[in-house]
Each structure stands twice: as C-alpha cells, then as structure tokens.
C-alpha cells in the first residue's frame, strides 16, 4: 500500500468513526428526550402552550388574593372543557374581569353579565360568569377572617403525593373535598373537590410533578417530601397511600 492509499484508508476509517459517533450521540439524545417526555404529564405534552405553562408556572406557589382568585375562577371555567381552551383565552379573561381584581369584579351587575355573555373572546356561560362575580364578593368577605390565601392554604395536606405516571395523580383528595365544602360554606360557587384539587396542584400546595422530573420539588413548598423525614415512616414506600390518597398508611 503506497502513502496515498494509506491516507485514504485512514480517512475512511475516521469518517466511519465520526458517523458512528454521531449516530450514537443522536441515539443517546433521542433516548434522553424520550425519557424526559415520560416525566411530563400527558396533558402538558399535548400542546406547546400547555408545555410552557407546565414548565414555567404550574405548581409554583401562589399566595396573593388576586392570584388565587383568578386561578379559582379559571378552574371553574374549565369544568366540562379543556385547560387548553381556558389557557388560550386567559388574557381575554383578564381583560374582561378587570385583571381578576376582586374589588372591581364584586361591583359587576346584570349589565356586566350581559356584556360578558356577548364577549366571544371568553367562555360565555352565564352560570360560570355569575359564579365569578359572586366569588369576588365572597373573597372580599373572607378578608374579615384572614383572607382567601390563608383560608385556601390552610388545607395543604400533611403529606405530598408521589406520582410516577400521569395515572397516579388523583382527581381529588380528602383535603380538596374539605376545601370545597368550606368554600361553599363561605358562599363560594362552582367549587367542587375536583376543581379544588386542580387549584391545589396549580398553586403548589401539592406537588403534582412526576417523580424524577426536573420540575419536581422546584416550588420549595415541600423542603422534604416527608414531613418529619423518611426515617419516621420505616418500611413505607412513597406510593403506599390508602384509597383516598390523603395520608400515608400506618405501618
């Protein structure tokens, strides 16, 4: 083999190695992407807008009156529909409902209801619109006993949930049922156990991010997954909950 042939052969082997390296890198990248996607709830992977909401906002702590009031209202508007529908109309909702300022919305009357029913940019449902106005008034009334944020956050469960799959996230819990009953007792409308649990997940009271995902624990609400450390629950695995998901089983 002459010098030229040797160089050509070496260049060919180098090219093969580079191609193999690229293929391996692409395969590893694809595997990493696939693994990351398995750690995202199905609802968040369905649309780029949902993915951004999940990555940037969902599950982060919300402790302001207007913030919790807005999310409570939007969760009610979602009932029977999809969150994507609500999310696409969110800015229109904010404009229509005075940026969800409870004091402003509490002043809405029948003319405002008719105006909102004629607004094609939002979800035009009379019962939900009237509930939003009524709930603004109930929010103001709660100020006499600590306010909406402290009232809602008082239902934070003692133990977090540990979903490894989307199917592991419950629709409601004993705490969300108790919150719904308490809110109705304070005059709120359109607040059921499922709506309240969706609120709890959205504002970080419960960490609904899948175990092993990069978003898990980022809210800082649950400094440790176990309230008094895992050593206080010997032999108990995180997913070993009783049927209502509210408390860890005793051992």
Which are the catalytic amino acids?
53, 75, 83
Nearest to 147 by CA among 158, 157, 138, 134: 138
CA 30, 36, 41, 47 dihedral sign is: negative
Q: Which two tokens stand for residue 149?
A: 């944020």
- Count of positions (residues) in the chain: 251
Distance CA 242, CA 165 (A): 17
Residue in the structure block whose two tokens are 């009232």 = 151
Where do the H-state alpha helices sit in 154-247?
174-185, 193-202
Query: How far is it, in rounded angstroms, from Cα 116 to Cα 96?
Result: 7
Separation of alpha carbons 91 and 99, rounded Å: 9
């Amino acid at each position: 083999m002459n010098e030229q042939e040797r160089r050509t052969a070496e260049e060919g082997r180098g090219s093969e190695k580079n191609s193999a390296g690229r293929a391996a890198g692409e395969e590893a990248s694809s595997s990493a992407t696939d693994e990351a996607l398995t750690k995202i709830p199905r609802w968040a992977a369905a649309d780029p807008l949902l993915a951004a909401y999940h990555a940037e906002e969902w599950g982060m702590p919300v402790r302001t009156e207007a913030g919790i009031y807005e999310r409570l209202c939007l969760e009610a508007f979602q009932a029977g529909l999809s969150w994507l529908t609500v999310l696409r109309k969110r800015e229109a909702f904010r404009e229509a409902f005075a940026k969800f300022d409870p004091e402003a919305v509490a002043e809405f009357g029948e003319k405002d209801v008719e105006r909102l029913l004629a607004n094609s940019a939002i979800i035009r449902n009379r019962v939900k619109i009237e509930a939003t106005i009524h709930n603004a008034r109930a929010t103001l009334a709660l100020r006499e006993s600590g306010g909406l944020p402290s009232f809602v956050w008082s239902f934070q469960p003692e133990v977090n949930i540990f979903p490894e799959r989307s199917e592991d996230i419950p629709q409601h819990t004993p705490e969300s049922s108790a919150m719904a009953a308490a809110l109705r007792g304070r005059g709120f409308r359109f607040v059921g156990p499922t709506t309240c649990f969706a609120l709890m997940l959205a504002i970080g009271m419960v960490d609904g991010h899948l175990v092993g995902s990069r978003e898990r624990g980022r809210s800082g609400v649950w400094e440790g997954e176990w309230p008094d450390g895992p050593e206080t629950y010997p032999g108990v695995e995180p997913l070993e909950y009783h049927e209502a998901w509210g408390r860890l089983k005793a051992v």
